[in-house]
A and B are shown apart, each in its own frame.
Chain A
């Protein structure tokens, strides 16, 4: 129960949320809300796991998972971008489809036993820095370090590069972007695909790195939805998403660790393993999502920052957009 261990483990579980949330930020920044994250994660998780079981190569598993997530996201892309379907319904359908496909493909995989995991790394030097070292750089999965790179890169891409400017233009004012020669449909398909790949990566992070194994539907268990909530809390910024992912990663970890403690601040711990009060503890992350979404929504109103203006709206050339 020492804070360093919890945070270090929280970084690991948080990475799962981080990949999914940043993927969703990309898709939403282009104006496409994709509620299929949960389904894409589960589909990526099973595809990556299954590929690793077959080939014995977890890196190939990661590639397959990302491809699987990306391909699945294209169903949503075609429906919402070309066919102007309601993004909420299509995203929900994607979650149903991804979950169903994953369960069909995952039949029998839960007994696959030990598989080749992605390597864990300790960074020499950095891991010896007090406090920060043991939390972030000691014996973490290689995907965690990928996450460290992804956060600043995603932020730079969105905020400081020309393609990022185009991305924001397509999400905020697609008609204006179109008139400047930016392909609105092409951009949206691209970022929905990126979102799908990152959701697939998040799935692979579960089955191949953080908690290796395939546990059917429970493998993802709502974390895709938590990632969607985090995007609102993060106000579509990768940096805030990283903070939220770490926070929730730590909470998930704390719930597990607190069960082994006898006393909290001198009082008997009501949440010891086997106690029915544990179920209240299990509610905590989900209630916290509601809380952070409320906070995020309030702050967005106050600071007048908000969702990309065209989020949820199909773009039709020549039609007056709202």
Chain B
């Protein structure tokens, strides 16, 4: 008996989407099985996730809040992965973005009392610039010196975390605690609940402007990738680097540019998190958004709008997963989902055949 993979030549249009959903179903069944093995109750765990993430308007809003940083970091990873650049550093770029945005308020770069209409755009710029700078380092090292971006981006994640810790334990520490003083209200991103005075139904809804950043960024990225020459070149480099080289595309330059944009997107995610949710800088602002983003990018198969859908799913998992015991379950489910997706990729690309006689041939 021998297993053989034949490349598919005629993949039907519906097949990839079905395979992806099938992968998710398989992943949840497997995860349920493992939860059951370690003595948990899978049905209760999954019902809990559904209710805690989508059971009411209030929790749906909370799910969207968790999805917001995932959308921006997910887009960051999707863009880089589309070009076969392994930016595993969205976590660090996210942290640097949060730091850059905080610096605007805490250094302070803008004097106290500057109106929100000025503060927020400056924070966005600062966050994106800091994240972009963090992305520039692995980009230039890869383009100029051929250094593997996987290792550099990963190491920079740790460096970024220590950088944040230095600031929140040191110069920006408030009263010796591991966090900064709270931002003034003009540095807060507007939330739906801020409109509760006019529309009482919106009271308590914490969805903030960051979600709009995410949706806008996804739209711009889709147009740039699918409708411009620049995007075509990115996709060409991803699909066939040698063809891109023959076409005279400056790949080194593209690597740096894409890394900077990718870092800036993740950095904007960090800005949106400190400006929209935490309203101060602390070292635990990310429960691994930048790592979950890798799986999101894969689940979305690098499609910007699909990133939004995938982020909502994972936002739900992170939100509801906090109360699930044992506490490692959400991380484990993420790993299983990624493997199931890789498996479904095989089914999409190949037809699996079992031959009985080939073994002796």
Q: Does B165 contact A (CB under 8 A)?
A: yes
Q: Does B158 contact A (CB under 8 A)?
A: yes
Q: Is there contact, CB below 8 Å, between A93 and B152?
A: no
Q: A230's closest neighbor in chain B, by CB?
A: B151
Q: How many residues of A contact B (CB 8 A)?
A: 49
Q: Is there contact, CB below 8 Å, between A104 and B150?
A: no
Where chain B touches its partner, the secondary structure class is helix
Taking the closest CB of chain A, its distance from the CB of B265, in whole angstroms, is 19
Q: Is there contact, CB below 8 Å, between A105 and B38?
A: yes
Picked from B162, B326, B328, the residue with its CB within 8 Å of the CB of A280 is B162
Taking the closest CB of chain A, its distance from the CB of B89, in whole angstroms, is 11
Q: Is there contact, CB below 8 Å, between B148 and A282?
A: no
Q: How many Å lie between the Cα of A7 and that of B169 in the bound state?
A: 30
Q: How many Å lie between the Cα of A277 and that of B330 in the bound state?
A: 34
Q: Does A132 contact B (CB under 8 A)?
A: no
Q: Is there contact, CB below 8 Å, between A86 and B342?
A: yes
Q: Is there contact, CB below 8 Å, between B169 and A287?
A: no
Interface membership of chain B positions 137-172, coded 1 if the CB is closer than 8 angstroms to chain A and 0 otherwise? 000010001111011101110110011011001110
Interface membership of chain A positions 77-102, coded 1 if the CB is closer than 8 angstroms to chain B and 0 otherwise? 00100111110111011111111111
Q: Does A254 contact B (CB under 8 A)?
A: no
Q: Is there contact, CB below 8 Å, between A92 and B88?
A: yes
Q: Is there contact, CB below 8 Å, between B155 and A289?
A: yes
Taking the closest CB of chain B, its distance from the CB of A91, in whole angstroms, is 9
Contacts of A169 in B (CB 8 A): none
Q: Is there contact, CB below 8 Å, between A298 and B334?
A: no
Q: B141's closest neighbor in chain A, by CB?
A: A294
Taking the closest CB of chain A, its distance from the CB of B127, in whole angstroms, is 21
Q: Does A272 contact B (CB under 8 A)?
A: no
Report the stretch among B65-73, B247-255, B291-299 that lies at the interface.
B291-299
Contacts of A100 in B (CB 8 A): 328-336
Q: Taking A287-B159, A301-B146 as given, write out 18 further A-B residue pairs in contact, using a Cβ cutoff of 8 Å, ordered by the A residue number.
A: A86-B342, A96-B338, A97-B336, A99-B331, A103-B331, A103-B332, A105-B38, A107-B326, A107-B327, A222-B158, A276-B166, A279-B166, A287-B155, A290-B147, A290-B151, A290-B152, A293-B147, A293-B148
- What are 25 of the A-B contact pairs (CB < 8 Å)? A75-B339, A82-B3, A83-B342, A84-B346, A88-B86, A93-B338, A93-B342, A96-B291, A99-B331, A100-B330, A100-B336, A101-B328, A102-B328, A103-B327, A104-B329, A107-B38, A107-B325, A232-B148, A232-B151, A279-B162, A279-B169, A279-B170, A290-B141, A290-B152, A297-B145
A residues whose Cβ falls under 8 Å from a Cβ of B: 35, 39, 75, 79, 82-86, 88-90, 92-107, 222, 225, 228-229, 232, 276-277, 279-280, 282-283, 286-287, 289-290, 293-294, 297-298, 301, 316
